[in-house]
Structure 1
Amino acid sequence: MTDLIQLGKQAKSASSQLALLETSRKNDLLEKMATALEEHIPAILEANEKDLSRAADYGISDTMQDRLRLTKQRIMDMSAGIRQIATLPDPIGEVDKMWKTVDGLMIGQQRVPLGVIGIIYESRPNVTTDAASLCFKSGNSVILRGGKEAIHSNQKLVAILQDSLIENDFSPYAIQLITDSSYEVANEFMRLNDYLDVLIPRGGANLIRRVKENATVPVIETGTGNNHIYIDSDIDLQMALNIVVNAKVQRPSVCNAIETILVHEAIAPTFLPAIETVLLAENVALRGDEKALTYLTNATLATQEDFETEYLELILAIKVVSSLDEALNHINQYSTRHSEAIITNNYFASQRFLNEVDAAAVYVNASTRFTDGFMFGFGAEIGISTQKLHARGPMGLNELTSTKYIVYGNGQVRS
């Protein structure tokens, strides 16, 4: 069994070194890690092929296998993500504000690393390099625990990153991987209070729930994406079609894809036949409520479970609503507070939607697929936080820091 205590001790030691590392040195090491990935593309692809060859044995669908699959271009994109993180401003040591008290004390609030970050995630090997590089730049050491379905890919990626650190005279323990994928070790990891400062789960609903139920270390919850687009009565039809197709089809297996569209009854006779034609051509299975089925020819009747489900597949639920109020009520009942969108030409409807929808990202006339650290300009992301404490939305460098107060005096004592 994995010696988690040893991993924790090593991570603590590395975090102390990393917290004091100069920005230029961190950036140089990140550049070296990016280059190392590019130099080992054949070895990474070979390891990934081992994972893909076993995917069917684990019951992983074709759509979900897309999350697991690496290509030369995807590895180059992972490398580019590390390089972009190297170019971002370093938050560590930054003093957000400073003020003088009536006692003459100068008090500042300075950004510091969280310390040791644990991350539990599924399927996607790119999370390994995204998480490692974001934690490294923000001065945190990281212990990664990926799923068994990506174990060969993750082992190879972490080994490459660690070797790069060793070759450049820095501790490889800044980035570590738990290779035992058993539930027992995962549960023990969730209770590593003496060494983990925070735990971040990134995956499906079952993983998130298991971490919330079992963890004793502080958790930043990254949420599932039961996301909606509301099609208002006043729309640009072609724009609405383009956005819905992009949000459902471009990459259906990710958390910022949509799972339900809500269509105003006034536009339903025009919009639904048009969107059905486009989506059927993309092999999307449609599940509509009774009103929607009056305008659809190739859909099955939706159940309540359909409106509750994050499919992560080419399946879309459809409901016809009588008003913006009904759409808002539906979203606030079924949303996982990830990403929600409205398509409308009505300014007042758009503002009500922005104000009344409770989600990490709320869109007007744009695809929910933009809820992503890279697309938001953060370089990469640890995940999309759907909670309201500490961080919300795509978590970049700043969200991986805390603050401490620094106080300058000249002999003050309290009376």
Structure 2
Amino acid sequence: MAQLQNKHILLGITGGIAAYKAPDLVRRLREQGAEVRVVLTAGAKAFVTPLSLQAVSGFTVSDDLLDPTAEAAMSHIELARWADLILIAPATANTIARIAHGFADDLLSTLVLASKAPLAIAPAMNQQMWAATAVQENIETLLSRGVQMIGPESGEQACGDVGYGRMSDPTEIVQALIKKAPEAKQDWQGKTFIITAGPTREAIDPVRYISNHSSGKMGYALAEAAAHAGAKVILVSGPTQLPTPTGVQRVDVETTEQMLNAVQQQLPNCDVFIGCAAVSDYRVAEVASQKIKKEQNNQPPQLKLVQNPDILQQVASSEKPPFTVGFAAETENLKANALRKLERKQLQMIVANDVSQVGLGFNSDSNNAIILSKDSEQSLPTMSKHDMAIAIIDAIAKRYFNTTAN
């Protein structure tokens, strides 16, 4: 399930340059199942139009305190009753000050006072303004009232300054809201995932090895998403530079055989297995005990390769196989090759992506893919691997729980 399913989120947009990110924020909130209504301040309309926000939200944008089309001509009462959560992004120093001190002289500030819904704020301003004593005191006031503060981030700003004050990325804002929502952690309660991630390394000699370009980012994102959805997650990881996601049990391995052994040890209690690791299909038959010296032979060494065990196939064909999901990293004939792998390895689902696309797949932060099963297909457009992981876990949930219910 989407992790903000049926949540009513009221998005307040104020007059900062970061308002240009608002349509993307609306889209990402809706991807997680939320209904989004937008309130614009007068200053915000200088940066983003009501029409564009209406197009992405599906609702008329509000900007007047007294609205003849609203219930009793009072938008702040109607919207205050509707909202499950109020999110202000970007939140300027001026808006933060007015909310901290209880002003109610426009629609946004008035509905904050009129609503019992939780309030989340994503500040955005010049780094010197963010550091100002008055702003920090207002932030402390809001925090003391239980307001959720998302960001800001440090970096280069529109004015040319560098420092804290940039609004958090829309994906980070959405994830911060998801982590705050108690309902988001119920889907997979009591279920165990084993997820493999990263590359494997097959030694040639003590200093050289065969490997691939996998960074592990997709597998780690899947582990984080599954854990956040309530599952117990065991992440069997090849060599990476990534931190272990919160709440995830990590088992480090190096070779394909080590990865298989680690998976088999955990398999009896596994409900869902996701083979996301880019394992080496072959290993060197005889690993040199010492570094191979170039001067020992003017010709390059002849390496005899032998086939590694197929972890995914062994899991899918085990005595009591879990719900098994594979990945297919292809450079051509994406769908056809993935469907053959799905059938050959007896998988319930496979995620196929084209790693030949520049800026996507291996070592990148973004990807696009097709999720395939024997009787379904779902295309995932280009998005962050973080968002893709959530979409994949959601797709697995729909099929897993439908299958087990029947």
TM-score by length of 2: 0.30
More helix by share: 1
More strand by share: 2
**RCO greater where, 1 or 2, for CA within 8 Å and sep 6 or more?**
1
- Which structure is larger by alpha-carbon Rg, 1 or 2? 2
